[in-house]
Each structure stands twice: as C-alpha cells, then as structure tokens.
Amino acid sequence: MTAFSGIRVLDLSRVLAGPFCGQMLADFGADVIKVEDVGGDENRKWAPVIDGQSANFLSVNRGKRGMTLNLKSGAGQEILAGLVRKADVVIDSFLPAVAERLGVDDARLRALRPDLVHATISGYGHEGPLAGKPGYDLMLQAFSGMMAMTGERDGGPVRAGASFIDMATGLLAFSGIASALYARQAGKAGGQHIRVSLMETAIALLGYHVPAYTLGGKVPPRDGSGVWHIVPYQAFGTENGHVLAGATNDAAWQRLCAAIGATELAADPALATTTLRIENRDKVISALSAIFATRSTAAWVDALETANVPCAPVNDLAQTLAHPQVAAMKMVLEVATRGGDSLSLVGVPLNLSTTPAVPGGAPPLLGEHTDAILKDDLDLDASRIAALRKEGVI
C-alpha cells in the first residue's frame, strides 16, 4: 500500500519544479497523467539528449502516463474538463494570464471539481509587481542574492551547480499537496489552491542569512567554498584533489590542529576563539592550506575522521554516485524501459516506514498514452480519437 494510492493527478506543468512534484506523487502511488502540448514539454529538448531523450526530462517524469493535448482548441478544453472532473490534484506552472486564457485558472478548475487540490507554481509569486513575470532557477539565484554570495572573493557571482531552487520548489509543492489532501480527507477543508514560487523558495532557503542582515546588517560576502562566520570551514587543496575541513567550535579547532600536526596554531592565543579566527581569517587559511597540500585527500579524511573533525572529500559526480553510501540508500535507481533495458535515475529522497515509495516505470514518450487515456478514462472511441488527431487536438 502506498501513501497516495487511489489519488489521480493531472500534471500540466513544465520543466523541473512542477514535474518533480508530480514524480514524487507518482513515486508514492498516485496515478499521474503528464499532459503536454502537442509540441511537448520544452524540457524534452534540453541537452544532454541521450538516445533521443533529454536527461532533464528523464530526471523528473518517471512513473507517469503521458498524453498530448492542445489546450487552445475547443475540443482540447472539453477533454481537459473531463480529466479535471476525475482528478484529485492538478499541478500547473502557467502565468496567471495564460492560465486564464487556457481555462486552467483556479476558478474554472474548481467549477469543474469543487474539492480539487490545485497547485500552481510560479516564478515570483501570485501577488506584487512581478507576479506576471516568468522565472527560471538561474534567474532566481540571481534575484534572491544567492549568486552575489557565491564565488571566490576576488571573482564575480557564480551559479550553484545544481538547479536546487527548482527542485526545492517541487518538494514544497509536494508537501503542500500532501497537506491539502490530508485536510480534505480529515474533513478540515474541501479543495484548496496551493501556490508556491521559485522566489519564495529561494528566500526561504537563505535561512540564517536573512536575520543576519535584518538584525545585524551583515550582507554575506563571497567566500569561495567557505562561510564568513565559521573559520576554518571550507575546501583545501591536497596532493590529489580537495578536502572539506572545518572547526565549527573551539573544541573542534583544537582537534583539527592536533589531527594535522598544527601545534603552533593550536597554541596561538590570537586564534583561540571563533571570533578571533574570523578576525584572522587570512592567517588561518594560509597556514592550513600549506599543510593540507602535503598529503592526499584520502589520508586527510582518515586523519580528520579519526579525530572527530567535520570533513568530507570534495567528490565529483562520478565519485559520489559510485560511493557505497549512495547505493545503500538507493539514491540511484534502475528503472525498466519499454525495450527491456534500464535507466539509472535519481532515487527517492523520502523514506516512509509503512507506505514507502514504489517508483514507477520510465518517463513517458511524447504522447505515449494519449489514446489509452482517452479510451479508458474518458470512454472515447477509436474514430473520435482519430478525428482529434487529424484536427491537431492531440
């Protein structure tokens, strides 16, 4: 038994955030129908395209049934209405004006299904001067201040390597949908409109940086792999790579110095406290950099872990995915394809003891299940389906 068994979801969203939300619902048992324009989700075309399929699309669409539908047509609107009436959840990522034009605004959807849980994902939120502005992950990394605090001190702003604002927004939408379904089931509410945005997610992810500024006036600087308020806590070059090492308190500083043989640093009263090490940051980092350059990453990780010092090797993606801890937590899944092969996809980052995730099959090909959905879910016959295809509705 899965958590969302019996729940039907229409995923009208595109790119990453909404589709990731839909994939999480599918992983936990929901019947998710991915509805795309006849031309397909733009995410299908983003590089790298491997064997005709985009890694971007494959990463967030497993376990779904897929269909195409031209929402700009009258017949397409009729089909959508039929699907909405049978749905528990609708996910969309349209701008407000577009949603109203396509008939997928909350008022229209709720008229079709009053107890619908409707999740809308936007770039900048549903109110304010930027409510109608589209947004992508990188745009919000820039807008939110994250890029300004990311990069080397003497360099320019840098993008985070992963599209984490998109993915986190998808997880927030997932939690909002789960909360709304619970409230509906418990009789605390009927349908609800859930609204999340990349901007709100990004601001929330700033975390402690917000009160550090609002209460202390501190605008976070770029500090490379480190952080301005803990010294040392960053990556250091080794003989063959980099190691992340940190002293998050004064006791850890003494353990770090002992582990690397830095007796003079440990005894230096000018470096004895967190505040003093921040004030003497350049001295600390210079001294530690010279020491860490003398041994391999693995040797330093062994020494630091033995001394109970926070540390980690700075892995590349290949090293990370090959690590036995990643395998133990099943964070790389082998998903069967239609041809009997398999795809290695990202696992499920949420563990439930009684109703665990049961990841579904490979992401749908464009329009793969259109005919079956129209026939089985809406009782359309073959001649009507053929006519719809001829008219460009599907």
Residues recognised as catalytic? 166
Report the SS3 class of residue 118.
strand
Query: How many CB atoms are located within 10 Å of the residue 302 CB?
Result: 14
Phi and psi of 233, rounded to 5°?
A: -165, 80
How many secondary structure helices (H) and strands (E) does the chain include? 18, 13
Q: Which residues are within 8 A (CB) of 49 and not within 5 positions of it... i.e. 6 or more apart? A: 55
Alpha-carbon span 339 to 66, nearest angstrom: 17
Q: Specify whether the CB–CB gap between 310 and 323 falls below 8 A.
A: no
Q: Up-side HSE of residue 310: CA atoms within 13 Å toward CB?
A: 14
Strands across the sheet containing 192-197: 65-68, 31-36, 8-11, 89-92, 117-122, 192-197
207 Rama sector, left if φ>0, alpha if ψ -120 to 50, beta otherwise: left
Q: What is the DSSP letter of 227?
A: B
Q: What is the DSSP string of 59-90?
A: TT-TT-EEEE--TTSHHHHHHHHHHHHT-SEE
Point out which residues pair with 345 in neighbouring strands: 333
Tokens 């053929």 belong to: 386
Tokens of 364: 């749908």
Burial of 172 (0-12, 13-18, 19+ CB in 10 A): buried
